[in-house]
């Protein structure tokens, strides 16, 4: 591994700020924590299908970055949240409530773990089981886009 950077060299992150990792136009994935990498990979998979997907690193859950969120809902009709925790009262529920206030016409789908017991398995197997890997996230976006094209046509 490389050298560990000196703390003074690490740039400050403004409190409560989110970071747009990839700008797209068709859909947005708002990723919390470790879900950023699968979200980026999902966007790449979707890019191969001709879909242009925004990915946001929601590095603060609360407070949410309302400026970035407003720009997301202004530019997208579909938002997928991705968190590696329960969907009950988690990050996705918080985002859905905010989006309801900002732009009720925007569809929010919450990707996370259902509130139930899971069999023992590796982390990657558990994430795949609940669709929190790149393929699972991409499939949720594809499903919405397919449904949207049917209702629009």
Instruction: List pLDDT tens digits, range 59-78.
Output: 999 999 999 999 999 999 99
82 contacts 55 by C-beta, under 8 angstroms: no
Residue, of 9 and 74, whose pLDDT is higher? 74
Domain 7-152 adopts which CATH fold? Answer: Rossmann fold (3.40.50)
Nearest-10 Cα torsion for 66, 85, 26, 105: -60
Mean pLDDT to the nearest integer, 32-50:
98
At residue 152, the pLDDT reads 62
110-92-40 Cα angle (round to 5): 70
Distance CA 49, CA 70 (A): 27
Q: Which residue has the higher pLDDT, 85 or 2?
A: 85
Strand partners, 66: none
Between CA 28 and CA 107 the distance in angstroms is 11
């Amino acid at each position: 591994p490389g050298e560990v950077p000196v703390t003074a060299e690490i740039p400050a992150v403004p409190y409560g700020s989110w970071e747009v990792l990839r700008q797209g136009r068709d859909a947005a994935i708002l990723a919390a924590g470790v879900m950023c990498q699968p979200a980026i990979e999902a966007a790449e998979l979707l890019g191969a299908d001709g879909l242009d997907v925004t990915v946001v690193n929601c590095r603060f859950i609360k407070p949410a970055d309302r400026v970035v969120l407003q720009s997301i809902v202004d530019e997208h009709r579909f938002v997928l949240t991705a968190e590696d925790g329960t969907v009950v009262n988690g990050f996705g529920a918080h985002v859905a409530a905010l989006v309801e206030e900002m732009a009720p016409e925007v569809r929010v789908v919450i990707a996370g773990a259902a509130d139930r017991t899971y069999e023992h398995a590796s982390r990657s197997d558990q994430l795949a089981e609940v669709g929190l890997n790149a393929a699972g996230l991409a499939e949720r976006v594809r499903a919405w886009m397919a449904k949207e094209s049917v209702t629009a046509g």
